[in-house]
Chains A and B, each alone.
Chain A
Amino acid sequence: MKDIANLVGMYMKTTAKSWFQYRVDTVLKSLAVFLRESTEIIVIYFTLLKFKELNGWDIYEMLFLYSLIFLTYGIMIIFFTGLRDFGSTVRSGSFDRFLLRPRGELFQIIFVNSDWFAAVGHGSLGVVLFLVSAGRVGISWTPALALYYIFSIAGGVLIQGAVFLFLASLNFFLLETGSLKELLYYNMRRFAGYPISIFHRFIQFLMIYVMPFAFVNYFPAQYFLRKSDINAFPEIFMHITPAVGAVMYLFAYLFWRYSLRFYKSSGN
């Protein structure tokens, strides 16, 4: 344990030192991430400024919906930057080096390049959105609700972590997976900011069964807000986010273990 803590400390120190070789960029990093992620919020803000409401959701309810995405993503990305960038790690041959070191592959991927500043950018956006919206959407907080909220966040973190882990595993089979991630993850996330009830059945199916963003924000948010459009979905969906997360992560992990032996190494 002490050994692990020591090594994690060393990794963090090394990463931080590298960053501070480029002070301007590092200082700007959180701001850049904050702005980049706000793009979607700005779009929603201007759109609702013009149209007032979307299928019965007003601006604060929309922001509450969105805040769940950023909080979960912010927590997830503290650990999973390495998996997000795993494609380039494989292509550049750096994964060879991980395999040559007497430490777990996942452990190294997670801790070698943790992106704390980006996580601050994401997380703080989530917190800001939560603070702005939570008081204005008529939630009366009780300990039980708070517990539900915490479990939902944990579930949301696991769901997205599982997706990242799964997509990273695909790098052992495919030359380039960046745009698959763009398609399945970032694209869907952009639209998870809207209540899924406005979408075509097919998109709803994707958001629930393929890339289950609906469990990250829509269903947990509906547990608090109870907008009428929830009636189109089974009641149970509002309660299973943590379970969905746990199961998905387990499967993703098993797939990762299985895929590892197909690693081809590059440079030949």
Chain B
Amino acid sequence: MKKRNPLSPYFAYAKKCFLNRSAYRFDHLMNILSTCLQIFIFWEIYRALYGNKTQVDGITITMLTTNFVLSAGLGAVFCPDDYFLPGKIWDGSISTELLRPISFKGRMIAENAGNALFNLIFRFAPICIIAAVFIGLCPPAGLLHALCFLVSAFLGWGVLWAISFAVQMTAFWLINIWSILTIKNVFVRVLSGSMIPLWFMPDWMHKIIAFTPFSSIYFTPVQIYLGQLSFEEIALRCTIQLVWIIFIYAIGDILWKKGQKKLVVQGG
């Protein structure tokens, strides 16, 4: 008997997702163009807002652009499939999916990882290069900061994935959760700083945001990249990211177990 690597089915799923993406070529180019256009227009708006000023509250336009490009770029990389579980519950295929001899959650992560890798190479990289050439970006604050950025960005993915995971679990009870997912995404977009730089939020908003996981997704990595945090602060923020991942995942997992029980009781 040849011993099989227990992880190989997950790699297979990840690879499948990676390869599937290449079928939608036109779509993909449009996506990149779309993001570039957003970045360009964002830059234009802030140029108009800044007028003759070179900086506001110590933030230059290049820093703003860097924040926006990195947030948009990371956003393009992460994109968890919010309908992975709800889709399977709605069309009833969940009961057969759960019979397969592999972990459903593991597969969720694997497929998202396959997508993320594709996006990292074919979306994040071109977007950053185009933005750097045509608009100009800040370089990372230092080599160590760049490395910490990568770690923190990875954790940011974890946070976003965990949020999506936990919210998807409500589909066991509600089946159709389009509205809840949409509301979730509104929170992610506004409070993560990907649409409006968190620097310019009023103080009372900062207080609210501090109690949510959203700024851990993009803003923490961006701040590390720009060198706005000392290394003690970096360690603290990354720990906070990790705590959020564990906390949200744990909630999702409880729902996952209860949801499966519910599925068994109803007989699919």
Interface residues of A (CB under 8 A from B): 21-22, 24-26, 28-29, 31-33, 35-36, 38-39, 42-43, 46-47, 49-51, 54-55, 174-180, 182-183, 187, 190-191, 194, 198-200, 203
Contacts and interface: CB of A to CB of B under 8 A. Distances in A.
Interface string B145-189: 000000000000000000000000000001111111011011001
B190 A180 contact: no
A200 B44 CA distance: 7
B211 interface: no
B34 A182 contact: yes
Interface string B178-215: 11101101100110000110001110010000000000
A187 to B, nearest CB: 6
Nearest to B189: A39
A94 to B, nearest CB: 14
A150 B175 CA distance: 41
Given A42-B190, A175-B24, A183-B30, A198 B44 contact: yes
A47 B180 CA distance: 27
A182 B30 contact: yes
Contact of A198 (B23, B48, B56): B48
A245 to B, nearest CB: 24
B189 A178 contact: no
Given A176-B24, A182-B34, A46 B200 contact: yes
B31 interface: yes
30 contacts: A22-B175, A22-B176, A24-B174, A24-B179, A25-B174, A25-B178, A32-B180, A36-B183, A36-B185, A39-B190, A47-B200, A49-B202, A54-B48, A55-B48, A175-B24, A175-B26, A176-B26, A176-B27, A177-B27, A178-B27, A179-B30, A180-B27, A183-B30, A187-B34, A187-B37, A198-B44, A198-B48, A199-B44, A203-B40, A203-B44
B176 A36 contact: no
Interface residues of B, number: 38
Interface in B26-42: 26-28, 30-31, 33-34, 37-38, 40-41
B45 interface: yes
B200 A50 contact: yes
B177 A25 contact: yes
B186 to A, nearest CB: 5
A190 B72 CA distance: 15
A28 B182 CA distance: 10
Interface of B: 23-24, 26-28, 30-31, 33-34, 37-38, 40-41, 44-45, 47-49, 56, 174-180, 182-183, 185-186, 189-190, 195-196, 200-202, 205
Contacts of A200: 40, 44
Query: Which of the listed residues B48, B179, B180, B189 has the most CB atoms from chain A within 10 Å of its own CB?
Result: B179
A29 B178 contact: yes
Contacts of A28: 179-180, 183
Given A32-B179, A174-B26, A179-B34, A22 B174 contact: yes
A176 B178 CA distance: 21
Contacts of A54: 45, 48-49
A178 B45 CA distance: 26
B174 A35 contact: no
Given A39-B189, A174-B26, A180-B26, 5 more contacts: A32-B179, A32-B186, A55-B48, A179-B34, A187-B37
Nearest to B174: A24
A32 B183 contact: yes
A203 B178 contact: no
Contact of A51 (B31, B49, B182, B186): B49
A25 B180 contact: yes
B195 A39 contact: yes
Contacts of B185: 36
Interchain residue pairs A-B with the least CB separation, the first 9: A28-B179, A22-B176, A198-B48, A179-B30, A183-B34, A32-B179, A32-B182, A176-B27, A25-B176
Contact of A43 (B56, B190, B205): B190
Contacts of B205: 46
A181 to B, nearest CB: 9
Contact of B179 (A25, A49, A51, A191): A25
Nearest to A53: B49
Contacts of A32: 178-180, 182-183, 186
A3 to B, nearest CB: 32
Nearest to B48: A198
Contacts of A177: 27
B72 to A, nearest CB: 12
Contacts of B40: 200, 203
Nearest to B90: A22
Contact of A29 (B31, B45, B174, B179): B179
A33 B44 CA distance: 28
